Amino acid sequence: MQTVADQDTAGAGPAAQAASNLFALLPSVDRVLGWPGVAVLIEGHGRAQVTDAVREILSTLRQAAADGSLAPRQLAESALIDRLASTLAERDAPRLCPVFNLTGTVLHTNLGRATLPEEAIAALVDAARSPCALEYDLATGGRGDRDDIVEGLLCELTGAEAASVVNNNAAAVVLLLNALALRREVLVCRGELVEIGGAFRVPDIMRRAGAKLREVGTTNRTHLKDFEEAIGPRTALLMKVHTSNYAIEGFTKSVPEPELGALARRAGVPFVVDLGSGTLVDLERYGLPHEPTPRESLGAGADLVTFSGDKLLGGPQAGILVGRAALIQRIKKNPLKRALRVGKLTLAALEAVLRLYRDPDRLAERLTALRLLTRSDRDIRAQALRLAEPLGRALAHWPVQVTVEPTLSQIGSGSLPVDRLPSHALVITPTRRRGAGLKRLQAALRDLPTPVIGRIADGAMRLDLRCLPVEREDNFVRQLSALTDH
């Protein structure tokens, strides 16, 4: 980089002369910090942050002056203050910002899966705000166990003898394998060697947990006798993994849970089921496809069942283990349990969500995830028709056309992989330059104060409205005006 001094001694031309004049006009950090317009920024963001941002901006401007790309108006006090304010606002914007999930996938892992019901939000705010009896027995004043907070509810809702909670279902599976099958064999049907998005693969998890996977049967067909023949002195567990995110169809056979349960009992080894999603109620009651429940698995002879807290259950991220008291006891003694435990915020939210399940009649109203999953197509269509007009108006200057079309939502997070829910979408179709236009539109939607995440398919941007709650509709419409200026 050339310096001002080099340019002077080199007897540079008029451009360099202008640049050196601009250098002289660059204010010092202290001067900027003393401007009355900056005082309010210091009050809002703190002196250290403002000083840091001023240094960064001045250094960029100094570089621009050296390159000859600096315009004098950029150095005006008001221009500098505006720039400082927007730099600070950008730095302070939360990275974990709320978005509109209009992807059509209700339990979207990348968008945080289940949104919590108000009851759970209130509970976790309370737990955050003050000390709480997390591991404290209020009856005796002695030490408590954090699992006690939800164990009673979990046993009541699943019919289990005991329960424990960890960070997520992947953790629950690792913990159970490590506690019950270290250096021994776990029998799993070949058709169930699942990979869940985000690097959860049954064979890898098994190895990391220190257990030995023994594959049984074939990809499409596994018989009870395959399991019988595989059982031996090194067998620690029979395991069934729910094929959450795919379906094997055609010439298939798998061993029903009751038969596996009976075989495990004969062999004297526990039978464990990784259910993945695991709703606590029969979803058919709400007009949704059936998804196996922990109660069903336990009833069919499973000794332990694991499932996620933030899939169909509709609660916070958590992994839940329910089943026989003796096995849960062994699991709780494993040092990994301490490493994988949940915090008070999770337990507060989970407890509140589980309580909602005690009143199944009102569950579809109160549990947000279930409310979204059971929204009627008619209701979504009416909303789409209401919103098409303001969206069309906001995009009036874009070469696009807005229509309302039927679509199919999916449940997501590997739940009910082949079932789709009838819904309606706002469809934005470019009238020219398809590819580039769509990318620009997608970026503009992401750039809104509350980013709108849709899905591009068949040459159009599709905004499935299933997950736009009516109470957030105003907020959605209000920010659309920002698209007009794009």
Ligand X SMILES: *Cc1c(COP(=O)(O)O)cnc(C)c1O
Which positions touch ligand X (CB under 6 A)?
168-170, 173, 194, 196, 200, 241-242, 244, 274, 276-277, 308, 319, 414
What's the min distance (Å) between Cβ of 112 and ligand X? 12
Nearer to ligand X, 165 or 370 (CB): 165
Structure tokens at 312: 């169909």
Alpha carbon distances (Å) from 189 to 135, 257, 476: 39, 12, 47
Q: Which residue has the tokens 């992807």?
A: 103
Measured at the CA of 271, the angle between CA 270 and CA 275, to 5 degrees, comes to 140
Min dist CB 364 to ligand X, Å, is 23
d(Cα 476, Cα 469) in Å, to the nearest integer? 10
CA distance 107 to 412: 5
In angstroms, what is the minimal distance from the CB of 202 to ligand X?
Answer: 8
Tokens matching residue 221: 């067909």
Whether 114 contacts 313, CB under 8 Å: yes
Going by C-alpha positions, the residue among 274, 316, 32, 256 that lies closest to residue 170 is 274
| Three-class secondary structure of residue 273 per DSSP | strand
Least spacing, CB of residue 244 vs ligand X, in Å: 3
Q: Which is nearer to ligand X, 179 or 441 (CB)?
A: 179
Nearer to ligand X, 60 or 243 (CB): 243
Nearer to ligand X, 113 or 424 (CB): 113
Shortest Cβ 208–ligand X spacing (Å): 14
- What is the Rg, in whole angstroms, of the alpha carbon atoms belonging to the chain? 29
Give which of 32, 43, 115, 112 is closest to 76, Cα–Cα. Answer: 32
> Min. distance of Cβ 167 from ligand X in angstroms?
8
Nearer to ligand X, 194 or 438 (CB): 194
Least distance in angstroms from the C-beta of 80 to ligand X: 47
Rounded CA gap, 298 and 293, in Å?
Answer: 9
Nearest to 53 by CA among 78, 79, 87, 30: 87
Helix (H, G, I), strand (E, B) or coil at 198: coil
Is the Cβ of residue 173 or residue 426 nearer to ligand X in the bound state?
173
Q: Closest residue to ligand X, Cβ-based?
A: 276
Nearer to ligand X, 123 or 188 (CB): 188
Nearer to ligand X, 169 or 423 (CB): 169
The least CB distance from residue 199 to ligand X, in Å, is 10
Q: Are 382 and 424 in contact (CB under 8 A)?
A: no
